[in-house]
A and B are shown apart, each in its own frame.
Chain A
Amino acid sequence: DAKTTQPNSMESNEEEPVHLPCNHSTISGTDYIHWYRQLPSQGPEYVIHGLTSNVNNRMASLAIAEDRKSSTLILHRATLRDAAVYYCILLNQAGTALIFGKGTTLSVSS
């Protein structure tokens, strides 16, 4: 599976936008980009996924670079509840196991 690189930690203030970057320079054409997050003392939860085009859902937006070698998860207005570890994961069509890295720990201050 192709590898992803994320910053270890990021900080944000409440109600401000947050841009979480992910580099995946070895991504293949069939790899989907998935984001999961894990709140303290909980199991991971799905956030969003995409292949080539930018994606929006009720939780976040995913911006994918034109060459697909990087992507950015965008939280439009961070809340205290968004404080979590965010994982960027590549998943090809044939694979179903999620390979988690260390992720980015997001801290949100009021």
Chain B
Amino acid sequence: DAGVTQSPTHLIKTRGQQVTLRCSPKSGHDTVSWYQQALGQGPQFIFQYYEEEERQRGNFPDRFSGHQFPNYSSELNVNALLLGDSALYLCASSSLIFRSYNEQFFGPGTRLTVL
């Protein structure tokens, strides 16, 4: 089992551009969550997808959007990039049916730098 995989590993963009990050969940998992982690801070929840729908969202602007595909993989899209969007973007997968025992498995993250 490859666990949670994310691509790309690193990405450099300029202000105003758009970016798409990708995540494949752990085998058997149907729920994908995205987190943003600024340097020196704990991860901040962006949103969560289950059955191809956004089921929960954190305090992030509409510039942040996502998608989940029938195979449970997911994309995070960020439009009109700002310098403050520079961060490590983490994807986590879990199985929603065990929601009270919510062990989430995290990927290694995508390091986004906005210049």
**Inter-subunit contact A98/B108 (CB<8 Å):** no
Q: Which residues of B contact A93 (CB under 8 A)?
A: 99-100
Determine if B44 is an interface residue (Cβ-Cβ < 8 Å): yes
Provide the B71-104 mask, 1 if CB < 8 A to any CB of A, else 0. 0000000000000000000101010100111111
By size class, the interface of chain A is 20 to 34
Chain B residue nearest in CB terms to A48: B103
Chain B residues closer than 8 Å to A99, beta-carbon distance: 45
Instruction: Count B-side interface residues using an 8 Å CB cutoff.
Output: 27
Q: For A49, what are the chain B residues with a Cβ–Cβ distance below 8 Å? A: 101, 103
Residue of B nearest to A41 (CB): B108
CB distance from B105 to the nearest CB of A (A): 7
Interface string of A29-50 (1 = CB under 8 A from B): 0001010000000111110010
Task: Give CA–CA (A42, B6) in the complex, Å.
Answer: 12
Contact present for A46 and B43 (CB under 8 Å): no
Of residues 68 through 110 on chain A, the ones whose CB sits less than 8 Å from some CB of chain B are: 85, 87, 91, 93-103
Known: A91-B102, A101-B42, A103-B42. A43 touches B94 (CB 8 A): no
A43-B107, A87-B42, A103-B42 are known contacts. Are A96 and B90 too (CB-CB below 8 A)?
Answer: no
> A97: which of B41, B45, B101 is its contact (CB, 8 Å)?
B45
Instruction: Confirm or deny: B31 has a beta carbon within 8 angstroms of a beta carbon on chain A.
Output: yes
8 example contacts (A-B, Cβ-Cβ < 8 A) are as follows A43-B4, A45-B105, A46-B105, A91-B102, A94-B99, A97-B48, A98-B45, A102-B41
